[in-house]
Amino acid sequence: MSVAGVGEFGLIDRVTARLSYGPKVLLGPGDDAAVVAAPDARVVASTDVLVEGRHFRRDWSGAYDIGRRAAAANLADVVAMGADPTALLVALCVPAGLSAGWVEELADGIGAEASGVGASVVGGDMSASPTLTIAVTALGDLAGRTPVSRAGARPGDLIALAGRTGYAAAGFTVLSRGFRTPRLLVEAYRRPEVPYPAGPLAARLGATAMIDVSDGLLADLGHVATASGVAIDVERDAFDVPPQMRDAAQALGVDPYAWLLTGGDDHALAAAFPPATVLPDGWGVIGRVTEGAGVTVDGAPFDGPAGWDHFR
Amino acid sequence: MSVAGVGEFGLIDRVTARLSYGPKVLLGPGDDAAVVAAPDARVVASTDVLVEGRHFRRDWSGAYDIGRRAAAANLADVVAMGADPTALLVALCVPAGLSAGWVEELADGIGAEASGVGASVVGGDMSASPTLTIAVTALGDLAGRTPVSRAGARPGDLIALAGRTGYAAAGFTVLSRGFRTPRLLVEAYRRPEVPYPAGPLAARLGATAMIDVSDGLLADLGHVATASGVAIDVERDAFDVPPQMRDAAQALGVDPYAWLLTGGDDHALAAAFPPATVLPDGWGVIGRVTEGAGVTVDGAPFDGPAGWDHFR
């Protein structure tokens, strides 16, 4: 049945019946607003919007995976501040002819990604729209930690990465050219594997700056460099090109380092740490902070494509 | 210049430069996430989405008023829980050809409505989209008060209203028929006057249930009746039909009580109070809670139109 057939309130009932609520949810969906525990007396909040045709395609990804990715994009922003995600709110705009089952699968994906990191979907809104649009807001609790902004990197700091980069971009390129394999890359595009625990862990270890890699590693390190008033140099040899990516790059005539260094959507975390920091498992050094401005690769500007601008 | 010409980051810079930040904003826009004070150790959160052609029309309302209304719809949800609004996050999807100036005016309207109630715009996201869409999330602080849900009304309670109903619906009807006056009604549609302080005040006075009137008074009281397991009777004589509304209703062949009792979008607040409550200025009794189920007007079902379903 279509969403128009089920109706707004019917669809909201169907979706909320599929969700589960953790102990931080003091009042869940169904009222004017939700009430979420914020034991730290501060709340971390971030919003991201996904638009069909621009951030996802229904012929490339199923509803469940689109839901997981919509949630992941926001949850990654919260852990990139060093916070523990607590709640999501979802504004969903759907064509009236879309099936209610598609929306239920989307909700399942959002709910699964949230509950995997201890967060719950606590509220939202739905409307018909010609353009399928998913706007998610994530909330988080700092548990006493200092929020890790983009602005604290200092010359001498290590630059380290948790999670992978370039896989989703490679999967996107593969799908754009009409292929459905290699599976490793296509699945990475469909469902990012965000290194959630690495964010709060970095905050506890004294990370001086941190960012969710969503515009591409060099572009996002550029945001850190600008906010911190420093330069960042990345070592190309710190990145492995996995065989599937190497083969796909060769077949498609692409430089795999363009994927690794400028591809977004894997939602890795990049952070600066004081030089004496012993990094835990999951974090690997990829560069250094120096005095100056801008981002370089092995001391020189990278001549690949720049990051993503959502209006161009 | 168009938003595509300015670019995503350029437009974000233009918008954030126009905003101001209150003392609750510990970290504002420009990082992965914002950090907002939540001194109560609980945070109230609500999301609403406005879609062009469905919730607003650019030929009926200017960008500034659309911004005020987008913010008002969310801030009203927060005060309807008895909380003080602290922050807004805004996900904005705009056609690439829209002028950057339109977006700036929208941001000014959102910022003005927020700052009028002590809240700040702390973050957001922007994307191009064929459909102009504004998703707003509002956060609030309960300041030690018990959240006032829809579920606590008890037989014998008074039903009271703060703010006005039917004005926005009348303005919408007037605009739909191609008129631009009476100004009172058209302006009420363009820019709701939400009785913000009445929400926290009602919570302090012991309101047993409260709701933001956005689907229409009878529909929203129906949500309270269902959640509370009670019946609600509304007195028709409690409502004044202002002369401009009476004249417009006569000219258009509409029952003005259909506007007053079933029109949304004024964002009045309706609440139940224990019967001995002395209501302060701004709140007026409009009915009673009884045992049973459903909502009646002077003891009988209202035979006007039902509330609004955003898929129909």
Give per-residue pLDDT as tens, A101-121.
Answer: 999 999 999 999 999 999 999
3-state secondary structure chain A: CEHHHHCHHHHHHHHHHCCCCCCCEEECCCCCCEEEECCCCEEEEEEEEEEECCCECCCCCCHHHHHHHHHHHHHHHHHCCCCEEEEEEEEEEECCCCEHHHHHHHHHHHHHHHHHCCCEEEEEEEEECCCCEEEEEEEEECCCCCCCCCCCCCCCCEEEEECCCCHHHHHHHHHHCCCCCCHHHHHHHHCCCCCCCHHHHHHHCCCCEEEEECCCHHHHHHHHHHHHCCEEEECHHHCCCCHHHHHHHHHHCCCHHHHHHHCCCCCEEEEEECCCCCCCCCEEEEEEEECCCEEEECCECCCCCCCCCCCC
- Judged by CB atoms closer than 8 Å, whether chains meet at A140 and B309 is answered as no
**Would you say residue A296 has pLDDT above 70?**
yes
Q: CA dist B206 to B37, B147, B211, B264, Å? A: 25, 10, 14, 25
Contact of B144 with chain A, judged by CB distance below 8 Å, is answered with no
Out of A141, A167, A187, pick the residue that ends a domain.
A141
Closest Cα in chain A, distance from residue B281 (Å): 23
Nearest alpha carbon to residue B171 among B150, B185, B157, B184: B185
Q: Which residues of chain B are modeled with pLDDT < 50?
A: 308-310, 312
> pLDDT at position A275, please?
97
- Judged by CB atoms closer than 8 Å, whether chains meet at B80 and A32 is answered as yes
Residue B80, domain member (yes or no)? yes
Residues of B whose CB is below 8 A from A70: none
Residue B302, domain member (yes or no)? no
Residue B183, domain member (yes or no)? yes
Contact of B3 with chain A, judged by CB distance below 8 Å, is answered with yes
> What is the enclosing helix (H) or strand (E) of B134?
strand B133-141
A37/A126 same-domain check: yes
The first and second tokens of residue A198, run together, are 């690495």
A125/A7 same-domain check: yes
> pLDDT at position A164, please?
95
Q: How far from chain centre, in Å, is Cα B39?
A: 25
* CA B225 – CA B291 distance, rounded (Å): 10
| B31 → closest Cβ in A42, A43, A150 | A150
DSSP B198-226: HHHHHHHTT-SEEEEE-S-HHHHHHHHHH
Residue A150, domain member (yes or no)? no
Within 10 Å of residue B301's Cβ, how many Cβ atoms?
A: 10
Radius of gyration of chain A from Cα atoms?
20
pLDDT tens digits, one per residue of A199-217:
999 999 999 999 999 999 9
Confidence band of A99 (pLDDT split at 50, 70, 90): very high
A87/A132 same-domain check: yes
Residues of B whose CB is below 8 A from A128: 51, 54, 310-311
Residue A302, domain member (yes or no)? no
* CA A248 – CA A252 distance, rounded (Å): 6
* CA A62 – CA A109 distance, rounded (Å): 10
Distant-in-sequence, close-in-space partners of A115: CB < 8 Å, separation ≥ 6: A20, A22
DSSP B279-296: PPTTEEEEEEEESSSEEE
> pLDDT at position A304, please?
72
Strands A34-37 and B42-51: antiparallel
What does DSSP assign to residue B99?
B
> pLDDT at position A307, please?
52
- Range of A16-20, A180-184, B288-292, B302-306 with top mean pLDDT: B288-292
B113/B167 same-domain check: no
A165/A136 same-domain check: no
Range of the domain at B192: 158-297
> pLDDT at position B7, please?
87
Distant-in-sequence, close-in-space partners of A13: CB < 8 Å, separation ≥ 6: none
B54/B102 same-domain check: yes
Reported ipTM: the value is: 0.94
**Would you say residue A92 has pLDDT above 90?**
yes
Confidence band of A308 (pLDDT split at 50, 70, 90): very low
> pLDDT at position B304, please?
72
* CA A203 – CA B33 distance, rounded (Å): 15
Closest Cα in chain A, distance from residue B246 (Å): 31
| A46 → closest Cβ in B40, B123, B127 | B123
Q: What is the CATH number of the domain that holds A225?
A: 3.90.650.10
B120-128, strands of its sheet edge to edge:
A25-27, A34-37, B42-51, B133-141, B84-94, B120-128
Do the beta carbons of residue B154 and residue B68 sit within 8 Å? no
Q: What is the CATH number of the domain that holds B28?
A: 3.30.1330.10
The first and second tokens of residue A240, run together, are 């492995």
B286/B174 same-domain check: yes
Out of A95, A114, A141, pick the residue that ends a domain.
A141
* CA B160 – CA B281 distance, rounded (Å): 11
Q: What residues form DSSP beta bridges with B134?
A: B50, B92
Q: Provide the number of structural domains found in chain B.
A: 2
B205/B256 same-domain check: yes
* CA B157 – CA B233 distance, rounded (Å): 11
Mean pLDDT, chain A, rounded, equals 94
> pLDDT at position A185, please?
96
Residue A153, domain member (yes or no)? no
A49/A105 same-domain check: yes
Q: What residues form DSSP beta bridges with A45?
A: A139, B34
Within 10 Å of residue B96's Cβ, how many Cβ atoms?
A: 14
The pair phi, psi for residue A8, each rounded to 5°, is -60, -50
A292/A163 same-domain check: yes
Chain A residue closest in CA terms to B146:
A35
Confidence band of A305 (pLDDT split at 50, 70, 90): low
Residue B178, domain member (yes or no)? yes
> pLDDT at position A94, please?
96
- Judged by CB atoms closer than 8 Å, whether chains meet at B33 and A83 is answered as yes
B108/B180 same-domain check: no
Residue A110, domain member (yes or no)? yes
Buried b (16+ CB within 10 A) or exposed e, A276-297: ebebeeebeebbbbbeeeebbb
The pair phi, psi for residue A266, each rounded to 5°, is -85, -20
Residues of B whose CB is below 8 A from A91: 47-49, 91, 135, 137
**Residue set of the binding site of A for Mg(2+):** 32, 46-48, 77, 125, 212, 215
Out of A141, A172, A197, pick the residue that ends a domain.
A141
SS3 B46: strand
- Pick from B137, B269, B309 the residue to mutate for testing the A interface (most A CBs within 10 Å): B137
Of A4-18, A238-252, A284-298, least confident by mean pLDDT is A4-18
* CA B212 – CA B142 distance, rounded (Å): 16
**Would you say residue A69 has pLDDT above 60?**
yes
Radius of gyration of chain B from Cα atoms?
20
A137/A194 same-domain check: no
**Would you say residue A311 has pLDDT above 80?**
no
> pLDDT at position A312, please?
43
